[in-house]
């Protein structure tokens, strides 16, 4: 029997009680919250461990739900997800150190960056002036490799312009993080001898028009969005879907190539219980591959677990409406959306497949890669976690 204390009330819950019965038992919508569900799942995990289940299975679930509980306690104190982001921000240096650890042991970022950068390089071949529009630039970690590769191009590097787009940050400097990213990239480009411009845009993505991008006719244009489009709202929230609007805007600027990476998950359901169950499955996979492939004693691991993954968990299960920005869909749904916007997929080269297979030998053997049509898939065991593809404007019939 598990005892839950909440708001000076006590509920004694048997661990075999189904979720639906638990909700009926608690009754009050405020009390049948994730707070209750998290503690319930923690206890179930403990019971499974006592009954002889593998110890690490309990650890994964306990980590997830303890993150749920910890962030929900913070949320109750500060009132909203946006306010919580203002009170719990980390410096860029720490975030970049944590990101480096993640890339060292997990192949998703390195393989995706290799795919995207080489696709963009092929589009930029022999062009004297090139322009990358990056939806969701964050810390700009994708672009140092591209700058290095352009610096070694036969005949000299082109003039590179990067437009970095991201959501406005809370506070007095909404574009501060993007501007700092631009300064770091400019310093690297100068060191590598690559002529460089950087343009920062901190706006809602659906509000960005071609005028914001300051397009030039003498530039070859590539658009990139790596695992960030799922932060856009969809038809569940507003009839004029920002996802559709952004994809249509990207098509309207007629890029030579559009590289799209998506988180392959389904916890965007409008109903809480469906979303909770799918999130639990997805984040269990995430903690499993991190526990098996990354050192647990590295101090940066705490940042990944609590500040990065933990905040995503909070947003999935505790936020609704405009504040819920973690809204991933399966890659096949993104394929339908992007094709409706007027794009067609670019085939994956055999050379790329061979190089990535060699790259994967550096990582834990339970990571895997595959293909579905022209999607390049990466996952853990039997679960596809990430998918990436390249698009070009579809030919218009006569």
Residue 124: what are its φ and ψ, rounded to 5°? -90, 5
Q: Supply angle C-alpha 367, 313, 117, rounded to 5.
A: 45
Mean pLDDT, range 74-100, rounded to an integer? 60
More confident residue, 6 or 358: 358
pLDDT of residue 279: 85
Does 216 score more than 70 pLDDT? yes
DSSP 182-206: HHHHHHHHHHHT--EEEEEEES-GG
pLDDT of residue 197: 98
pLDDT of residue 315: 84
**Which band of pLDDT confidence, cut at 50, 70 and 90, is reported for residue 249?**
very high
Does 370 score more than 50 pLDDT? yes
Q: Which of 7-16, 96-105, 254-263, 309-318 has the lowest mean pLDDT?
A: 7-16
Q: 154 CB contacts (<8 Å, ≥6 apart)?
A: none
Does 88 score more than 90 pLDDT? no
C-alpha closest to that of 145 among 189, 108, 176, 201: 189
Does 21 score more than 90 pLDDT? no
- Alpha-carbon span 8 to 12, nearest angstrom: 13
Task: Tally the C-alpha atoms within 13 A of residue 185's C-alpha that lie toward its C-beta.
Answer: 28
Mean pLDDT, range 63-67, rounded to an integer? 58
User: Residue 165: beta bridge partners?
Assistant: 135, 201
pLDDT of residue 192: 97
State in Å, rounded, how far the first CA of the chain is from the last one.
70
Mean pLDDT, range 58-67, rounded to an integer? 54
**pTM beyond cutoff 0.85:** no
Q: Which 3-state string (H, E, C) describes 9-57?
A: EEEEECCCCCHHHHHHHHCCCCCCCHHHHHHHHHHHHHHHHHCCCCHHH
Neighbours of 386 (CB within 10 A): 24
pLDDT of residue 66: 59
pLDDT of residue 340: 97
Task: Tally the C-alpha atoms within 13 A of residue 130's C-alpha that lie toward its C-beta.
Answer: 22
Q: Which whole-number Å values give the CA distances from 390 to 145, 293, 359, in the listed order?
A: 19, 29, 20
122-154 in b/e form (b: 16+ CB < 10 A) is ebbeeeebbbbbbbbbbbbbbbbbbbbbbbeee
Question: Pairing relation of β-strands 375-380 and 220-226?
Answer: unpaired
Q: Which whole-number Å values give the CA distances from 63 to 57, 220, 301, 326, in the listed order?
A: 10, 46, 12, 19
Residue 61: what are its φ and ψ, rounded to 5°? -65, -40
379 in the Ramachandran plot: left (φ > 0), alpha (ψ -120 to 50) or beta?
A: beta
> What domains sit in the chain, N to C, each tagged with a CATH number?
2-79+271-316 (no CATH), 94-264+328-393 (3.40.50.150)
Residue 345: what are its φ and ψ, rounded to 5°? -75, 150
Mean pLDDT, range 372-386, rounded to an integer? 95
More confident residue, 86 or 202: 202
pLDDT of residue 196: 98
**Which band of pLDDT confidence, cut at 50, 70 and 90, is reported for residue 78?**
very low
């Amino acid at each position: 029997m598990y005892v839950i204390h909440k708001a000076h009330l006590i509920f004694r819950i048997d661990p075999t009680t189904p979720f639906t019965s638990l909700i009926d038992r608690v009754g009050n919508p405020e009390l049948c919250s994730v707070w209750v569900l998290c503690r319930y799942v923690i206890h179930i995990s403990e019971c499974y461990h006592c009954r002889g289940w593998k110890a690490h299975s309990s650890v994964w679930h306990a980590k997830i739900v303890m993150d749920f509980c910890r962030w929900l306690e913070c949320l109750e104190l500060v009132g909203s997800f946006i306010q919580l982001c203002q009170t719990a921000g980390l410096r860029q240096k720490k975030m970049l150190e944590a990101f480096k650890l993640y890339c060292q042991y997990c192949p998703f970022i390195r393989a995706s960056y290799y795919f995207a950068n080489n696709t963009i390089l092929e589009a930029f071949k022999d062009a004297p002036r090139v322009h990358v529009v990056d939806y969701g630039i964050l810390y700009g970690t994708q672009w140092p490799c591209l700058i290095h590769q352009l610096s070694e191009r036969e005949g000299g590097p082109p003039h590179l312009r990067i437009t970095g787009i991201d959501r406005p940050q809370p506070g007095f400097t909404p574009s501060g993080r993007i501007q700092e990213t631009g300064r770091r990239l400019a310093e690297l480009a100068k060191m590598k001898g690559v002529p460089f411009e950087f343009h920062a845009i901190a706006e809602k993505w659906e509000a960005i028009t071609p005028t914001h991008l300051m397009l030039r006719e003498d530039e070859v244009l590539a658009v990139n969005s790596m695992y960030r489009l799922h932060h856009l709202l969809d038809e569940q929230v507003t009839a004029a879907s920002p996802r559709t609007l952004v994809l249509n805007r990207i098509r309207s600027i007629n890029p030579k190539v559009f590289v799209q990476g998506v988180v392959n998950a389904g916890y965007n359901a409008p109903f809480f219980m469906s979303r909770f169950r799918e999130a639990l499955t997805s984040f269990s996979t995430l903690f499993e591959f991190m526990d098996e492939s990354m050192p647990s004693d590295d101090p940066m691991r705490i940042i990944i677990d609590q500040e990065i993954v933990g905040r995503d968990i909070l947003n999935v299960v505790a936020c609704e409406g405009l504040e819920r920005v973690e809204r991933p869909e399966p890659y096949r749904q993104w394929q339908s959306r992007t094709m409706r916007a007027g794009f067609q997929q670019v085939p994956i080269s055999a050379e790329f497949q061979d190089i990535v297979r060699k790259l994967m030998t550096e990582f834990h053997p339970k990571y895997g890669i595959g293909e579905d049509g022209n999607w390049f898939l990466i996952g853990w065991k039997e679960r596809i976690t990430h998918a990436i593809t390249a698009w070009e404007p579809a030919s218009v019939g006569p």
